Amino acid sequence: MKLALVLPGGVDRSGEWRVIPAFLALITRLARVHDVHVFVLHQETAPGRWMLAGAQIHNIGEGWTRLRAIAAICAEHRRAPFALIQAIFSGSCSFIAITAAKLLRLPSAVHIAGGELVALREIGYGGRQKWKGRMREAIILRRADAITAASMPMLDALNALGLVATRVPLGVDLQAWPALAPRRRYGGPARLLHVASLNRVKDPSTLLRALAELMHDGMDFHMDIVGVDTLDGEMAALAQRLGLQRHVRFLGFKTQRELRPLMESADLLVMSSLHEAGPLVLLEAAVAGVPTVGTAVGHIAEWAPSAALAVPTGDWAGLAEAIEEVLDDEALRLRLAREAQRRALLEDADDTARRFNALYRRLCVHAHDEA
């Protein structure tokens, strides 16, 4: 089967920088049994092609990107026909995938993986902030032959819009990121970890204020913050004002190889996002034996209270209290870690690929029956 995948990015030719590990894991597994062509919109500014994870990557680049992406899919289809077109992320990706699929009379699928369904106007985030975005999603998603999303909160958001979707978590590649049994803590400062780009939707100010509350309560801890700083040092300045210099390190971007030892040494992953479809790092932490405390979004809301602890978004005091609760109760921390790992191992990258393959077979059989 020849497949077209439409992505916004995450497939850099280096295979390490500017990549999304779950995307690479899925592409690798699909490419073992299919001829996979990935049409990526903005990986590089200029058009280009390269091989990655067994797939042919078609970088569209800047300037009339949507029209040129549709044209590129149609041109590749003329060379050898596609069986199906899949978008990961809605917005421009779903517009391209579904428009090309309709032109070529092919089935289409869309995986909701970001902020397509939300409107966080206070930070200028989300695909539903303006009427044009709401109208586009309403029209485009209703023309998809199948919609998937990673977590139940995302499915609930789709159902509220009258859209039926299937849950397909983007799982961890256990070959690249092997499982490690949860470990008991043995004294010393608690080691906390936060992995996410520093941007408004990840709400790092709530994270830092929660850490300041822990410090004032006398808790002994150390927090490593991993991720690209898109806020020009604003969070480092806030940490300074809050007196967190001895407790917090801003480490910037880390490759998966560099992240792994940080994860293995952590006692707890802490997330403070205003919105998540996942987050993927929760699954990585779970596989590595580390439990998560965070705001009630995506998998964190889905797994609470048996496999994670969740608090309302923006609630820094509640977040601090939840962190303290887990760190003061080792039995609870280990119980959360074991249940989180059980779930993450059941829904690993192999399971993700099986679910997508089953979906593709159903869509292609249905398309054949209708032809």
Region 2-171+348-370: CATH code: 3.40.50.2000
φ and ψ at residue 191, rounded to 5 degrees: -105, 110
What string of H, E and C letters represents the secondary structure of the chain?
A: CEEEEEECCCECCCCCCCECHHHHHHHHHHHCCCEEEEEECCCCCCCEEEEECCEEEEECCCCCHHHHHHHHHHHHHHHCCCCEEEEECCCHHHHHHHHHHHHHCCCEEEEECCCCCCCEHHHCECCCCCHHHHHHHHHHHHCCCEEEECCHHHHHHHHHCCCCCEECCCCCCCCCCCCCCCCCCCCCCEEEEEECCECHHHCHHHHHHHHHHHHHCCCCEEEEEECCECCCCHHHHHHHHCCCCCCEEEEECCCHHHHHHHHHCCCEEEECCCCCCCCHHHHHHHHCCCCEEEECCHHHHHHCCCCCEEECCCCHHHHHHHHHHHHCCHHHHHHHHHHHHHHHHHCCHHHHHHHHHHHHHHHHHHHHHHC
| pLDDT range class, residue 19, cuts 50, 70, 90 | very high
Q: 2-171+348-370 with 190-346: one CATH topology?
A: yes
What average pLDDT score do residues 136-142 get? 82
Lowest mean pLDDT among 133-147, 230-244, 296-310, 322-336: 133-147
Task: Please tell me the predicted confidence (pLDDT) of residue 137.
Answer: 77
Of 20-24, 108-112, 184-188, 195-199, the poorest mean pLDDT is in: 184-188
pLDDT in tens, 54-64: 999 999 999 99
Q: Is the pLDDT of residue 368 over 90?
A: no
Query: What angle in degrees, to the nearest 10, is found between the helix axes of 234-241 and 204-216?
Result: 20
How is the chain split into domains, by residue range? 2-171+348-370, 190-346
Predicted local confidence at residue 190, as pLDDT:
97
pLDDT recorded at residue 366: 76
Give residue 317's pLDDT: 98
pTM, two decimal places: 0.94
Mean pLDDT of the chain: 95
Q: What per-residue confidence (pLDDT) applies to 236?
A: 97
The pLDDT value given to residue 59: 98
- What pLDDT is attached to residue 105? 96
Token code pair at residue 209? 């204020």
CATH fold for domain 190-346 = Rossmann fold (3.40.50)
Answer for the pair 239, 215: CB distance below 8 angstroms, yes or no. no
Q: Give the pLDDT confidence score for residue 135 in this predicted structure.
A: 75
Residues in the chain, total: 371
Confidence of residue 371 (pLDDT cuts 50, 70, 90): low
pLDDT confidence tier of residue 161, bands split at 50, 70 and 90 = confident
Mean pLDDT computed over 299-303: 97
Q: In this model, does residue 234 exceed pLDDT 70?
A: yes
Mean pLDDT of 91-115: 94
Chain CA centroid to CA 70, Å: 25
| End-to-end alpha carbon distance in the chain | 17
